[in-house]
Amino acid sequence: MKPYILLTPGPLTTTETVKEAMMTDWCTWDEDYNVHIVEEIRNSLVALSSRHPDEYTSILLQGSGTYCVEAVIGSTIKPGDKLLILSNGAYGDRMGNIAEYHGIDYDLLAFDETEQISVSYVDDYLAHNADITHVAIVHCETTTGILNPLKDIAHIVKVYGKRLIVDAMSSFGGIPIDLQELGVDFMISSANKCIQGVPGFGFIIARKSELMRCRGVSKSLSLDIYDQWETMEKGHGKWRFTSPTHVVRAFKQAMEELTEEGGVTARYKRYCENHDVLVNGMRTLGFETLLPDEVQSPIITSFLYPHKGFDFKSFYVQLKEKGFVIYPGKISKADTFRIGNIGDVYPDDFVRLIETIRGCRY
Ligand SMILES: *Cc1c(COP(=O)(O)O)cnc(C)c1O
């Protein structure tokens, strides 16, 4: 039995059946694994990404989500290109850090952590900076839980004819997005977020024509998305280096469970219900959210400390004893903690959480 459920931004609470799927050992060159597990996952990820997915392909890559973000940035931006990073949180800033490490030419537009990326600001910036070739944005900034206006930003980026990289790590599978409709060129997510798998690899959904331009660009062997794709594509699901076989098998189970639930629309609806029960309940207890409702995602919610002497550690321990693990805050400007709504968790779990918090000393 679970000692507690995770109300965190990932790894998340997973189903028993996802965990059970890891009980078999797989041989990486056998077609039971590569053709029937890896290729089926690759195809269903592409199918999930758009109603018109023909222009897209997928790449699975070992490591956590950041490995995939670094792999995309390092494999797409060539000498002579210039990347514009739009940031309103730690994950946007991390892309800047990656660009620094790689010696990539970039600009980072930093927005307040409690404000959405400004569409008009980006419009103005692109109008005056013709040297930008790529734009990168985080869809749901997990730092606070803010949802960026991806549709409007994508529109502007495409009006200026730039390539678009989206970190949809914490939203893909949980919030409906259509990559083809938005004109996204590279989308990055990972196994342990809204698909509800376990941690160990990430994935990239790439526009094929753009991926073809990545050949020979990467300065890193293990993070070369073109090379990884070529091996997978030609080898029918072969990974270049040891793949996290058990994690991949669990992910396939998680993808099937997403379909059984009714797909991304149904999962989005459940996450929204989780979020509503959480926020309404917390408000009746006197807690306030960091963000206004209009910009809040249903993925994770930041709450302000209820008073100056609030002891998060003690609050955390009390909740953990009662079966709920929550998350600390991540911003410097305000004292916050976070509660995630994603994973194999349901509105009833949040009803129980609120009742438990009502009984806590804080
Ligand atoms: C989880 C997450 C990542 C990746 O983080 P890892 O710790 O490397 O898995 C990147 N961006 C966002 C928005 C995330 O939520």
Instruction: Enter the pTM of the model.
Output: 0.98
**Strands across the sheet containing 83-87:** 56-62, 201-207, 186-190, 163-167, 134-138, 83-87, 106-110
* Cβ(96) – ligand 1 distance below 6 Å: no
The closest alpha carbon to 342, from 202, 197, 198, 194, belongs to 194
The CATH number given to whatever domain includes residue 275 is: 3.90.1150.10
Q: Which of 209, 231, 259 is the last residue of a domain?
A: 259
* pLDDT surpasses 80 at 256: yes
Residues 249 and 267 occupy one common structural domain: no
The CATH number given to whatever domain includes residue 176 is: 3.40.640.10
Residues 253 and 303 occupy one common structural domain: no
Burial 158-171 (b: 16+ CB within 10 A, else e): beeebbbbbbbbbb
Residues 237 and 151 occupy one common structural domain: yes
Residues 61 and 118 occupy one common structural domain: yes
Residues 162 and 273 occupy one common structural domain: no
* Cβ(91) – ligand 1 distance below 6 Å: yes
* pLDDT surpasses 70 at 223: yes
Q: Which of 224, 259, 294 is the last residue of a domain?
A: 259
**Structural Rg of the chain based on CA atoms:** 20
Residues 106 and 255 occupy one common structural domain: yes
Q: What is the pLDDT of residues 41-54, one digit of tens each?
A: 999 999 999 999 99
As given in the structure block, the two tokens for residue 51 are 């109603």
User: What is the extent of the structural domain holding 156?
Assistant: 17-259
Q: Distance between CA atoms of 53 and 51, rounded to whole angstroms? A: 6
Q: Which atom of ligand 1 is nearest to the CA of 142?
A: 15
> What pLDDT score does 1 carry?
65
Q: Give the total number of structural domains in the chain.
A: 2
Candidates 142, 171, 193, 201: which one to mutate for ligand 1, based on the most atoms within 8 Å of Cβ? 142
Residues 269 and 244 occupy one common structural domain: no
Q: What is the pLDDT of residues 162-192, one digit of tens each?
A: 999 999 999 999 999 999 999 999 999 999 9
Residues 270 and 252 occupy one common structural domain: no
Q: What is the pLDDT of residues 268-278, one digit of tens each?
A: 999 999 999 99
Residues 45 and 132 occupy one common structural domain: yes
pLDDT range class, residue 331, cuts 50, 70, 90: confident
Q: Give the burial class of 81: count Cβ atoms within 10 A of its Cβ; 0-12 exposed, 13-18 middle, 19 or more buried.
A: middle
> What pLDDT score does 159 carry?
98
283 among annotated binding-site residues: no
Strands 146-147 and 140-141: antiparallel
Q: What single string gives the DSSP state of each residue in 163-209? A: EEEEE-TTTTTTS---HHHHT-SEEEEETTSTT---SSEEEEEEEHH
CA of 340 to the centre of ligand 1 (A): 14
Which range, of 91-95, 129-133, 323-327, 331-335, averages the lowest pLDDT? 331-335
Q: Which of 206, 233, 259 is the last residue of a domain?
A: 259
Average pLDDT over residues 113-119: 97
Instruction: Tell me how far the alpha carbon of residue 48 is from its chain's centroid.
Output: 15
Residues 73 and 122 occupy one common structural domain: yes
* pLDDT surpasses 90 at 332: no
Average pLDDT, the chain: 97
CA of 153 to the centre of ligand 1 (A): 21
| Virtual torsion, Cα 58, 59, 65, 67, nearest 10 deg | -150
Average pLDDT over residues 334-342: 97
Q: Which atom of ligand 1 is nearest to the CA of 168?
A: 13
CA of 134 to the centre of ligand 1 (A): 20
Residues 111 and 219 occupy one common structural domain: yes
CB 105, CB 82: distance < 8 Å: yes
CA-nearest residue, atom 3 of ligand 1: 65
Q: φ and ψ at 193, to 5 degrees?
A: -110, -125
Q: What is the pLDDT of residues 142-151, one digit of tens each?
A: 999 999 999 9
> What pLDDT score does 72 carry?
98
* Cβ(138) – ligand 1 distance below 6 Å: yes
Residues 124 and 232 occupy one common structural domain: yes
Q: φ and ψ at 133, to 5 degrees?
A: -110, -30
Q: Which atom of ligand 1 is nearest to the CA of 63?
A: 8
In this prediction, what percent of the chain has a pLDDT beyond 70? 100
Q: Which amino acid is at 2?
A: K
* Cβ(70) – ligand 1 distance below 6 Å: no
